[in-house]
Amino acid sequence: MKQSLFKSLADLRFAITILLIIASSSIIGTVIEQDQSIETYKLNYPLTNRVFGFLSWDLILRLGFDHVYTTWWFITFILLFGISLLTCTLLQQFPSLKIARRCQFFRTTKQFRLLNISTKLQHLPLTQLLFRIKENQYSIFQQKDIIYCYKGLIGRIAPIVVHFSMILILLGAVFGSLSGFKAQEIVPKTEIFHIQNVLSNGQLTTIPKVSTRINDFWITYTKQRTVSQFYSDISILNVDGNEIERKTIFVNSPVKYNGVDYYQTDWNLIGLRIQNPDSAILQYPLVSILNNRNKVWLTWIPSDQELNKGITILIDNLQGYGSVYNEAGLFLGNLELNERFNSNVPIILTDIISSTGIQIKADPGIPIIYAGFMFLMLSTLISYITYSQIWIIQYRKQIFIGGNTNRATFDFELEFFKFIK
C-alpha cells in the first residue's frame, strides 16, 4: 500500500495535474486584485451584477480569492507538488543514476542489434581502438574480451538538479508568503514613524520593532516643469532612537536593512505655514484635487472672523511658490517662499509641508527562490552534456562495436566513425 501511494505521488500525470491547478490558481490571483479592502470588492464584484454570471464579492472572500497566494489550499497544492518532485527523485532519478554508473557489459554479439549504431571490424587493432576512445574522455571498463565505455555521466544528474531547484523555489515561495509582509506609510518630513499600516502579512510574520525618520524630502523637475524624480533622506533608528542606517532613496533605489526594504513610492503636500502680520505662524491644511490628470493642492486663508472673505492659495509643485486668488476666483499674483505678499492681510509663506510615501516590504523567501533559479540555470547547462555509451566485444579476429547516446546523435555518429576509420 505504501509502495502504491509513493508511486502515485511520483507519477508524471499526478505532478502535471497539480501543476495545472497551481497555474490556474495563479491566474485567478492575477486577474482578481489581491489584498484590497472589502469595499473595493463590493464595488467591482457586486451581488446584483455578478462577473461571468457567478463571481461576486462574497464568493471571492469565502474562497480566499482576495489573497490566493497565502490561502491554505494554495500552499497545500504547492507542498503536494514538492512532495511529488521529491518522491520522483528518490524513486526514479536516483535509481536511474545508479544504473547508469554500473558497468553494463554485452555478453553476446546479438545485443548489438538493439543499438542505434553498430558495426563489425576486422583490420583495426583493439589497442588502437581503445586508445582513440580514451582520447575522447571515455571511461573504459574491461573483462577479458568484453569492454564497456561511457562519458558524460554528469549529464544524468541534470534531472535531479532540476527537481532540487524546483523544490527550493516552492519552499521559498511558501516561506515568503508565510513570513513576509508589505506595509505603506505616508509620513511628513522630519517625522518619525513605526511600521503600522500593514497591507498584507503571513501567518508567521513578525513586524520588526524599528523606527524610521524622514530627514528630508525633495523633488527634481524637468525643463517642462514635470516631475523628474522624488527623493527621501531616511534614517533607520534602533529602539534607543540611535541612527543605525541612513540613505537617500528614490524610485527603484530602496534602502535595505535586516531583510526589510524601504521603497520610495509616492509623495503629497499636506499643509502651508503662513506668517500673519502679528508674526504668528499658522498652519493651514492643503486639499488635493485633480486638474486634467494633474494633481493640484489648495487651501483657504480667511481675512475676517466670519470666514467669508479671504484668499485661496493654489500649488501644483514643490518649487517654492503658489498662485493666489480672491474669493471671486480672480488671480492676484504668485506667492513666493519667504517673501511678503501684499493683500488685504499681508502674509509670508514660510514653509510648504510635504510628505513622502514609503512602502516597507519583507520577503525572507527571496534568497531561497534565487538559489533555486541558480540551480535551475546550472541544470540547464549540465543537461547539454551528452551521455554516450560504447560496447565492444572481441570475438576471434573480429571486433563488434556499437554505441548509444541520449542527445546530439549526429555528433555522436561523427565521433563513432572517427574511432573505426
pLDDT tens readout for residues 70-109: 888 999 999 999 999 999 888 888 888 887 777 788 988 8
> pTM for this structure?
0.71
Question: Is residue 162, in this structure, part of any structural domain at all?
Answer: no
d(CA 209, CA 207): 6
Which residue has cell 500673519? 276
Q: Which three cell numbers stand for residue 354?
A: 510635504
Question: Is the distance from CB of 154 to CB of 385 less than 8 angstroms?
Answer: yes
pLDDT tens readout for residues 98-151: 877 777 889 888 888 888 899 998 888 888 899 999 999 999 999 888 999 999
Closest CA to 154 of 388, 377, 376: 388
Q: 378-385: which pairs have CB atoms within 8 A and are 24 or more residues apart?
A: 378/161, 378/165, 379/158, 379/159, 379/161, 379/162, 379/165, 380/158, 382/154, 382/155, 382/157, 382/158, 382/161, 383/155, 383/158, 384/155, 385/152, 385/154, 385/155, 385/158
Residues 262 and 289 reside in one and the same domain: no
Residues 189 and 265 reside in one and the same domain: yes
Question: Is the distance from CB of 152 to CB of 383 less than 8 angstroms?
Answer: no
Count of CA atoms in the C-beta half-sphere (13 A) of 115: 22
Question: Is residue 378, in this structure, part of any structural domain at all?
Answer: no
Question: Is residue 142, in this structure, part of any structural domain at all?
Answer: yes
Q: Which three cell numbers stand for residue 382?
A: 549540465
Q: Which three cell numbers stand for residue 157?
A: 544528474
User: Given a cut of 80, is residue 343 above it in pLDDT?
Assistant: no
What residue numbers bound the domain in which 214 lies? Answer: 180-269+357-362
Mean pLDDT of 391-397: 87
Residues 249 and 184 reside in one and the same domain: yes
Residues 58 and 18 reside in one and the same domain: yes
Of 332, 352, 372, the residue that ends a domain is 352
Q: Categorize the per-residue pLDDT at 321 as very low, low, confident or very high, splitting at 50, 70 and 90.
A: confident
pLDDT tens readout for residues 262-313: 999 888 898 898 888 777 888 889 998 876 667 889 998 887 777 778 888 8
Q: Which three cell numbers stand for residue 11?
A: 507519477
The domain spanning residue 134 has which CATH number?
Answer: 3.30.310
User: Given a cut of 80, is residue 1 above it in pLDDT?
Assistant: no
- What is the pLDDT, as a whole number, of residue 104? 84
Q: Which three cell numbers stand for residue 359?
A: 512602502
Question: Is residue 175, in this structure, part of any structural domain at all?
Answer: no
- What is the pLDDT, as a whole number, of residue 291? 67
DSSP letter for 387, please: -
Question: Is residue 369, in this structure, part of any structural domain at all?
Answer: no
Query: Residue 47 belongs to what H/E stretch?
Result: none
Residues 187 and 265 reside in one and the same domain: yes
Amino acid (one-letter) located at 239: V
Question: Is residue 165, in this structure, part of any structural domain at all?
Answer: no
| Percent residues over pLDDT 90 in the chain | 31
pLDDT tens readout for residues 152-198: 888 888 889 999 999 999 999 889 888 989 999 999 988 999 988 88
d(CA 312, CA 93): 75
Q: Categorize the per-residue pLDDT at 401 as very low, low, confident or very high, splitting at 50, 70 and 90.
A: very high
User: Given a cut of 70, is residue 260 above it in pLDDT?
Assistant: yes
User: Given a cut of 80, is residue 344 above it in pLDDT?
Assistant: no
Question: Is residue 57, in this structure, part of any structural domain at all?
Answer: yes
pLDDT tens readout for residues 59-69: 898 888 888 88
Neighbours of 200 (CB within 10 A): 17
Would you call 183 helix, strand, or coil by DSSP? strand
- What is the pLDDT, as a whole number, of residue 94? 85
Question: Is residue 324, in this structure, part of any structural domain at all?
Answer: yes
Number of domains comprising the chain: 4
Amino acid (one-letter) located at 106: F
- What is the pLDDT, as a whole number, of residue 366? 92
Give strand ranges (E) for 66-178. 117-121, 139-143, 146-151
Question: Is the distance from CB of 10 to CB of 84 less than 8 angstroms?
Answer: yes
Burial of 101 (0-12, 13-18, 19+ CB in 10 A): exposed
With vertex at residue 178, the alpha carbon angle to CA 175 and CA 179, rounded to the nearest 5 degrees, is 80
Residues 17 and 83 reside in one and the same domain: yes
